[in-house]
């Protein structure tokens, strides 16, 4: 064990038996169970609210979340000899949700609905710390991104020599900028601001980064869970899915929960080529636990219509070196264009 890591671990009330390096940190075997130690670059206010939310979820019966472990000095974080900040969390024996395994993805959506049901109305002691933070709501975000798209298009147009990737962006720009413009128009015509205000007044919270990297499909011998919880999760006749743990709540916020649904759905559907039957099944699974009101279904459709993947590709191109454009960028652009028709068909199925 290196000196810096040992310095950090000594700050925690744990007896360490083994340390394993993993992506994003270290899994620590302790006498009290598994722990994960990872770097933390966020703010302490947000982390404090996340800690309170995690306690609230467990109090309401949702056991499988990564509770934050405080230091011996009752601090949320620890620092190494170089000043790098770390957090320790309770962890679980399991594997990351596999985006090629539909049962995993169904379990992820089922779990999201159960989380949202509990997070629909909260009253956390330090919740106002989040409410006081500046927020960029969807209309402002979409306007900003549409301006960025126009700026990139103007930049490419001004170049005398263009790559095939740049020609591809120019050829497809009118179509995808049109989707952005239409999404903004629909959003302005919707009751978005009112239902967002109502949600924040209720204390409605979201995970903020709900995707398959933050979902662990658990092994049945997981010691962190009570036997009753595991048995209920594994035999739930309404679900039939493996129990999962949800991790990394550091981006939690007060927001419409459809934001989590959109984030999960978009990534999963991209990996599954916007298969309409599969997408409908995912939404059905969510809605049997927590039905979506028509206003939020409409917002989901608007969010899906906005060409986020296309904007992200343009933005990445603009902010990186133009001397050499990776071949994978051209492949991504081709995939976005190929999938668009099927994506639009899926949006129409949301009723």
pLDDT of residue 242: 80
Q: What is the mean pLDDT of residues 125-146?
A: 91
Residues 83, 17, single domain; the answer is yes
Per-residue pLDDT at 203 exceeds 50: yes
Query: Which DSSP state fits 215?
Result: E
Residues 71, 154, single domain; the answer is no
Per-residue pLDDT at 177 exceeds 60: yes
Q: What is the mean pLDDT of residues 20-37?
A: 94
**Could you tell me the two tokens for 143?**
């306007």
Query: Which DSSP state fits 238?
Result: T
Distance CA 104, CA 98 (A): 6
Residue 137 contacts by C-beta under 8 Å, 6 or more apart in sequence? Answer: 192, 193, 196
Q: Domain range spanning residue 1? A: 1-46+61-91
Residues 148, 267, single domain; the answer is yes
Distance CA 287, CA 290 (A): 5
State the residue for tokens 């109090």. 59
Residues 74, 194, single domain; the answer is no
pLDDT in tens, 33-51: 999 999 999 999 999 999 9
**Looking at the DSSP assignment, which residues form a beta bridge with residue 33?**
30
Per-residue pLDDT at 231 exceeds 60: no
The alpha carbons of the chain give a radius of gyration, in whole angstroms, of: 22
Residue 24 contacts by C-beta under 8 Å, 6 or more apart in sequence? Answer: 38, 39
Residue 77 · residue 40 · CB < 8 Å? yes
What CATH number corresponds to the domain at position 271? 3.90.1200.10
Distance CA 257, CA 265 (A): 13
Task: Provide the b/e sequence for 274-299 (b: ≥16 CB within 10 Å).
Answer: bebebbeebbebbeebeebeebbbbb
Check residue 273 and give left, alpha or beta (phi > 0: left; psi -120 to 50: alpha). Answer: left
Per-residue pLDDT at 94 exceeds 70: yes
Residues 158, 291, single domain; the answer is yes
Per-residue pLDDT at 237 exceeds 90: no
Residues 12, 65, single domain; the answer is yes
Mean pLDDT of the chain: 92
State the residue for tokens 């109305």. 121
pLDDT in tens, 282-330: 999 999 999 999 999 999 999 999 999 999 999 999 998 777 788 899 9
Per-residue pLDDT at 226 exceeds 90: no
Question: Based on the structure, what is the number of domains in the chain?
Answer: 2
What CATH number corresponds to the domain at position 31? 3.30.200.20
Per-residue pLDDT at 227 exceeds 70: no
pLDDT of residue 234: 44
Q: What is the mean pLDDT of residues 93-105?
A: 94
Residue 237 contacts by C-beta under 8 Å, 6 or more apart in sequence? Answer: none
pLDDT of residue 1: 60
Residues 29, 171, single domain; the answer is no
Of all residues in the chain, the percent with pLDDT exceeding 70 is 94
Residue 250 · residue 42 · CB < 8 Å? yes
Per-residue pLDDT at 222 exceeds 70: no
Reported as a pLDDT band with limits 50, 70 and 90, residue 220 is low
Residues 139, 27, single domain; the answer is no
Per-residue pLDDT at 19 exceeds 90: yes
Is the residue at 71 inside a domain?
A: yes
- Closest CA relative to residue 351, chosen from 282, 259, 280: 280
Residues 168, 265, single domain; the answer is yes
Predicted structure pTM score: 0.91
Residue 239 · residue 110 · CB < 8 Å? yes
285/239: higher pLDDT = 285
pLDDT of residue 221: 52
Q: What is the mean pLDDT of residues 204-222?
A: 89
């Amino acid at each position: 064990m290196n000196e810096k890591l040992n310095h950090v671990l000594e700050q925690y009330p744990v007896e360490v038996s083994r340390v394993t390096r993993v992506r994003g940190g270290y899994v620590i075997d302790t006498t009290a169970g598994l722990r994960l130690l990872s770097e933390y670059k966020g703010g302490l206010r947000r982390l404090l609210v996340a800690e309170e939310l995690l306690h609230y979820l467990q109090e309401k019966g949702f056991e499988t979340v990564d509770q934050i472990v405080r230091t011996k000095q009752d601090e949320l974080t620890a620092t190494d000899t170089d000043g790098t900040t770390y957090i320790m969390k309770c962890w679980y024996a399991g594997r990351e949700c596999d985006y090629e395994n539909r049962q995993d993805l169904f379990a992820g959506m089922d779990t999201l609905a159960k989380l949202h049901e509990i997070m629909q109305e909260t009253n956390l002691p330090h919740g106002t710390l989040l409410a006081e933070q500046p927020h960029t709501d969807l209309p402002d975000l979409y306007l900003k991104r549409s301006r960025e798209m126009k700026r990139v298009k103007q930049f490419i147009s001004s170049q005398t020599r263009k790559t095939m990737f740049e020609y591809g962006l120019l050829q497809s720009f009118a179509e995808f900028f049109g989707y952005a413009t239409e999404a903004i128009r629909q959003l302005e015509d919707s009751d978005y601001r009112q239902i967002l205000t109502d949600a924040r007044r209720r204390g409605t919270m979201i995970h903020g980064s709900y995707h398959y990297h933050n979902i662990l499909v658990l092994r049945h011998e997981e010691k962190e869970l009570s036997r009753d919880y595991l048995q209920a999760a594994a035999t739930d006749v309404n679900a039939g899915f493996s129990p999962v743990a949800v991790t990394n709540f550091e981006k939690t916020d007060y927001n419409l929960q459809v934001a989590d649904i959109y984030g999960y759905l978009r990534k999963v559907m991209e990996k599954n080529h916007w298969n309409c039957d599969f997408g409908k099944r995912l939404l059905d699974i969510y809605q049997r636990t927590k039905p979506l009101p028509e206003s939020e279904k409409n917002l989901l459709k608007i969010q899906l219509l906005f060409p986020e993947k296309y904007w992200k590709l343009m933005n990445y191109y603009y902010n990186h070196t133009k001397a050499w454009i990776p071949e994978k960028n051209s492949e991504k652009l081709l995939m976005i264009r190929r999938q668009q028709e099927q994506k639009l068909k899926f949006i129409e199925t949301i009723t």
